[in-house]
Amino acid sequence: MTTRLTIALIKGDGIGIEVADSAVRIVNASLSAVGASLPIYDEIQAGAAYFRQTGADIEPDGEARAGEADAIFLGAVGLPSVRHADGTEISPHLRLRDRYGLYAGIRPVKAYPNIPRRLADPRAAGIDMVILRESTEGLFYSAAVHGRSKIVGDEAVYDTLRISRAVSEKLHRFAFRLARKRKARGRPGKLTCVDKANVFASLAFFRRIFDEIRPEFPDIEIAHAYVDAQALDLVRKPWDVDVLVTENMFGDILSDLAGGLVGGMGMAACGEIGDEIGLFQPAHGSAPDIMGRDKANPLAAILSGALMLDYLGEKLALPEYSAAAALIETAVARGFLANRLRPVEFGGDMGTKAVTCELLALIEALSPHIRAGRGEGADTVAS
């Protein structure tokens, strides 16, 4: 393959720089293993440290350059000590979501062997779900563009919760297609709409649009849940969940809760998909307290890189990119199964560099099978 894509790379702040570097190494290694050309990385300066230096949260042409790329990869943005005058953190990525309409926030949650589990029930070993978080509206609508909130002196602040038909229809169709895709891969293919329709007119509207879309996908089993009941069930029986679709703030909270069930935020990958472009990032923060100490778990960033490759492979009809994504996922699964991946986050003895190097070795070990023949390689990667 000779196609060379462009990735807008925003390393950001804190451990974002370290985990982004790890993700790039693994993405490049997996692409090389399947014989694909490596992308061109257009690095864009952005984040709280950049804001502290310049007074801007992203370099002057950074937003436009990000939108011109084939995909955006972000490490982590924000530092608790650097804030706007109203107390909010520096968050240019929220504006990127808004500008480029990145409405479908994909949060995979998967249990791997030899990772500490928070639930004693043996069924917790089978947790494998996706939380689909609408990423441009909901209660984050005001936060996406700084200054949208209405501040009344020192007496009150009003943030707008927005649910629109145009975005919700796209989100729900995306959710049904995702459930159908998972069903084809052997998962239940059950889609649950999570809301608070019994209290808020906006979320009753969200549910009504879901129900309107439902007849287009008669093969998909559906359910409804109020967000508080769904939070309870994520603790009581998360193994029953396949795909959840929900409002922005609810998705933010539920995906962190679910991440805690399978080890922690160091495994929390994220993709945010729009009609034209996608942004991929680990869902954890910048963790400045461990910056530069080789303690960060890079796997959330690496698995986000796999999501990016899978997205590009499907969108641009590049099977090599999809194969590279599957290779990363296989290497991570086999690494944990063989106890070769032992991140410090889980009480192990491997820091950022060691985890990255071990994954590179696992990918290299799989590479001869891939190069030996595309048929054998496809079976190996998919196993």
Residue 111 lies in a domain: no
The verdict on residue 46 lying in a domain is yes
In the block, residue with structure tokens 């694909």: 36
CATH code for the domain in which residue 26 is found:
3.40.718.10
HEC profile of 20-88: HHHHHHHHHHHHHHCCCCCCEEEECCECHHHHHHHCCCECCCHHHHHHHCCEEEEEECCECCEECCCCC
Whose structure tokens read 């070990």? 365
Are residue 381 and residue 317 in the same domain, yes or no?
yes
Which residues, 6+ apart, have CB-to-CB distance to 26 below 8 Å? Answer: 302, 305, 328, 356, 359, 360, 363
User: Residue ranges of the chain with pLDDT lower than 50?
Assistant: 1, 373-383
- For 291-303, b/e burial (b = at least 16 CB within 10 A) is beeebbbbbbbbb
Position 379 scores a pLDDT of 30
pLDDT confidence of residue 383: 26
119 CA to centre of own chain: 23
Render pLDDT for 67-114 as a digit per residue (tens, 0 to 9).
999 999 999 999 988 998 888 888 899 899 999 999 999 999 999 999
pLDDT at residue 30, as a whole number:
97
pTM: 0.91
Residues 56 and 138 in one domain: no
Both 29 and 121 in one domain: the answer is no
Pure H helices in the chain: 15-33, 48-54, 62-68, 92-100, 141-144, 165-184, 201-213, 227-236, 248-261, 299-315, 319-337, 352-372, 374-382
pLDDT number for residue 61: 96
Q: How far apart are CA 258 and CA 60, in angstroms?
A: 37
Number of structural domains in the chain: 2
> Is residue 106, in this structure, part of any structural domain at all?
no
6: exposed, middle or buried (Cβ count in 10 Å: 0-12, 13-18, 19+): middle
Return left, alpha or beta for 114; rule: phi > 0 is left, psi -120 to 50 is alpha, else beta: left
Q: Which of 206, 230, 262 is the last residue of a domain?
A: 262
Tell me, yes or no, whether 196 and 324 share the same domain. Answer: no
Predicted local distance difference test score (pLDDT) of residue 369 = 62
**Do 125 and 182 fall within a single domain?**
yes
Q: Is residue 269 part of a domain?
A: no
Range of the domain at 346: 1-101+274-383
- pLDDT tens-digit map of 205-247: 999 999 999 999 999 999 999 999 999 999 999 999 999 999 9
